[in-house]
Structure 1
Amino acid sequence: MRTLPLRLSPGQDLRRALEAALATEGVRAAFVLSGVGSLDVAQLRLAGAEAPVALQGPIEILTLAGTLSDQGSHLHAALSLADGRVLGGHVAPGCMVRTTAEVLLAALPEWEFRRMADAATGYRELVIRRRDAAQEPPPR
């Protein structure tokens, strides 16, 4: 495991920026260890909902957690609204950074995460595989 600290800037899409950082590093599996910051807009899919709800900022990111891969990410966040209410759910694309987002990733170069259909849940679920030694060597 190696750590990858990131600071996202105003206007960046939180989810897409994390996925882009993973691609830049050539990593196929990572976990979010920590994430805090602020958003102008949040797209959060609440438990059991089919589509995300749009929340207008200012919004504070209290926690960010999840998995990242080149085949898709599964991110959850707890967000504090301007009136102090806290909501949590799945982070969808469209969460736009307000002032900053400070995120620490744990990159796992020897592993790859895949998303495959799971008949039991009806969703594309995480499949964890050790990278084949015959494949290209893991990045740095």
Structure 2
Amino acid sequence: MIFHMFGHVHVDPIRVRTNAETALADAARARALAAELGVRWRLLEDRLGPCLRAHRPDVWNSRAAAASRRMLVGTVAREVDAARQEMHRTWVALERHARQLEARARADLARAAEPARPVPSVVQAAGGS
């Protein structure tokens, strides 16, 4: 991507732009997946949140089936809650990853637009001619 040529730093703008475009495409895919997960998480939360809050073991009154109901509801509630939390963590991680990819792509595009910078030679750095 960056190499020295005749005392100048050369940034291959085509390669940098290609990398930036790839990063932007990856970021767009990550954002799309994150958005889909976000919608699904909100729907799951809206649909199951009240049910999970209402169906705790202390709500069940029937003595005949109380133990089995508590066990069933507890198991379902734990599994759904674990899936909901994992979905939320994945959603947040994808959003963060998309932001990082976009920032890297913007930096690459800005660097690709810069002209080549002269690099001091070893002789110049030592004070020679």
TM above 0.5 = no
Q: Which has more strand, going by share of residues?
A: 1
Q: What range describes the TM-score normalised by the shorter chain of this pair?
A: under 0.3
Larger Rg: 2
Q: Which has more helix, going by share of residues?
A: 2
Structure with the larger RCO, 1 or 2 (CA within 8 Å, 6+ apart): 2
Structure 1 length normalisation: TM-score? 0.15
